[in-house]
Amino acid sequence: MNAQTAFPVIDLAETGRRIERQRRKAGMTVRDLQTYFGFEYPQAIYKWQHGECLPTVDNLLALARLLRVSMEDLLAYEDREVFHFYLTITFSGATDKSAKKNKTSTPLRYAFH
């Protein structure tokens, strides 16, 4: 069985630009964020803004609240169509005692994206 669904993919570069834009709009400096998060160095914030990485979920939530925006306002993403392929495998030599007794098999289902 195959299925096609939309899967959100985050755009790191645009998310970084949004973080920087919202920080500036709030009148805050990188140093202000560094102090708020208790970071010894500002590198993490610069990495967020340059799209090198994302804040952790708890830091993203804290950042959104500090900047008075929603997390969705900070995250840039697009839905991409993804195909899911399912493969069903049936083993006839089950190790479960009741399965051996009833001579049943146990199907395993794997999904590939």
pLDDT 10s digits, 18-31: 999 999 999 999 99
Contacts 24+ apart (CB under 8 A), 85-91: 85/2, 85/111, 85/112, 86/1, 86/2, 86/3, 86/110, 86/111, 86/112, 87/112
Which residue type sits at 45? I
β-bridge mates for residue 4, sequence order? 83
The domains of the chain, with CATH numbers, are 9-79 (1.10.260.40), 80-112 (no CATH)
pLDDT tens for 64-92 read 999 999 999 999 999 887 666 666 666 66
Distance, CA of 102 to CA of 94 (rounded, Å): 10
**Stated pTM of the model:** 0.68
Which helix (H) or strand (E) element contains residue 17?
helix 12-25
